[in-house]
Structure 1
Amino acid sequence: MGATLAQWDALRAISRTPGASARELAAATFQTEQAFGTLAGRLVAQGWIERRPGHGRRIEHHLTPSGERVLEAGHKVADEVLARCYTALPDADRATLLRRLVVEDA
């Protein structure tokens, strides 16, 4: 799909919280602020995100239409991988796993 897992994860975090700061996105992606800043710079260079001025010194992060397409392509890959990982489980076990994941994620 043309993106690394770290890039896709950053796009996913920005999609979930448009306008988030680098600090917030670094925490969401388990990176340092410096590492996220470097990654965000690459995402800007690829045309996948925009950085916009926010309140004070805050810089907000937003997906571009190109970034949204990359994110969607990554979701398809992730869905395919997860389907292969859990295909051996009986339907009832998959349903139970999904219920537990959704409850714990909420």
Structure 2
Amino acid sequence: MSYRPAEVGLAVKRLQHRHHRAVNRALAPLGLSLVQWDTLRHLHERPDASLHDLAVLTFQTDQSFGSLATRMADRGLIERLPGPGRAVRHRITAEGERLRAEGQAVADALLTTSFQNLSPAELDQLGALLAKALGPDPTGTHSS
């Protein structure tokens, strides 16, 4: 075995950290952070998502996501709507959708460059191996 599991884990973390910093920088001209764009992306896929679900999907605590959602609603990027009981549901606005799409183009270009040293077959293999390593999500809430 050429790579020990700890080495692979660290390489995955380094790549993720590099992507996080680069995408944050690339989204800044749109007035978005990575977590804001990720929120818009998840709301595009899951209209009416709860605060808790969005917190889990964006790797935030419920409290920190609540603050983020309030700021995004104040900017007109999302709407916060009453749900059943005390639940709050969220929807992306037209402005949020516009920025989500622009952010997607920015992220796609950046990540394409990041993986340019891999052939299409190697990129598919990497994706398959990471999906296999992750296995099914025990919470059932995170798909991408």
* TM-score tier (shorter): 0.7 to 0.9
- Cα offset, 1:57, TM superposition: 1.4
Q: Please give the alpha-carbon distance, in whole angstroms, between the structure 2 residues aligned to 1:77 and 1:32.
A: 26
RMSD between aligned alpha carbons? 2.0
Match of 1:13 in 2: 42
Cα distance per residue 1:46-89 (max 9 Å; x no partner): 10000111112111100000000111111111101111011122
Match of 1:78 in 2: 107
Q: Please give the alpha-carbon distance, in whole angstroms, between the structure 1 residues aligned to 2:78 and 2:70.
A: 9
AA at the equivalent of 2:53:
E
Match of 2:89 in 1: 60
Tell me, yes or no, if structure 1 residue 23 matches structure 2 residue 52.
Answer: yes
Instruction: Point out 4+ residue stretches in structure 1 off by more than 6 angstroms.
Output: 102-106
User: Equivalences for 1:26-37 in 2 at 5 Å?
Assistant: 26-37=55-66
- Cα offset, 1:98, TM superposition: 4.5
Q: Please give the alpha-carbon distance, in whole angstroms, between the structure 2 residues aligned to 1:25 and 1:91.
A: 31
TM-score by length of 2: 0.65
Q: Please give the alpha-carbon distance, in whole angstroms, between the structure 2 residues aligned to 1:78 and 1:18.
A: 21
TM-score by length of 1: 0.86
AA at the equivalent of 2:60:
Q
Q: Which runs of 5+ in 1 are unaligned?
A: none
Give the secondary structure class of the aligned counterpart of 2:117. coil
Q: Please give the alpha-carbon distance, in whole angstroms, between the structure 2 residues aligned to 1:10 and 1:41.
A: 12
Give the secondary structure class of the aligned counterpart of 2:85. coil
Q: Which runs of 5+ in 2 are unaligned?
A: 1-29, 136-142
Number of equivalent positions: 106
- Cα offset, 1:91, TM superposition: 3.6
AA at the equivalent of 2:47:
P
